[in-house]
Amino acid sequence: MSKVLLALTSAALLGLSGCSGLYVNQPPAAKTTDPAKPTISAEAQAALSAAQADVKSAKSKNVLWTTSENALKAAEEAAAKGDSATVIKQSKLASDHVQKAMAQANYPTLKIGD
């Protein structure tokens, strides 16, 4: 029984070692270059940078509205696609909502009762 097992194991190893050199003589696959990343206009980039700074500031003060965060995400996605008009629109919306959230944080607290 052990001789049969030894023979089968040896045959399997020889078979696998024969397969190890299958891809040695083939030329390497041609490297594909990444497609050029779409670019956005300078105005859109400035608006996106300002919105990112505004959202970061609001988040540090714990006054970030979800609408401004969602608008920033939409602007970043549009920037990845190269859509400058959408970047500008969503960045301005994010900045506007951050300014409103900051103003709301300065409202006086409302006392009910006494």
CB-based contact 94:75 (threshold 8 Å): yes
pLDDT at 44: 96
Q: How many CB atoms lie within 10 A of CB 93?
A: 18
Distance CA 73, CA 80 (A): 11
| Cβ-contact 40, 47 below 8 angstroms | no
CA 96 to CA 106: how far, in whole Å? 16
Residue 13: predicted pLDDT: 64
Model pLDDT, residue 24: 60
Mean per-residue pLDDT pooled into runs of 10, the chain (114 residues): 72 64 62 72 96 96 95 96 96 97 91 80
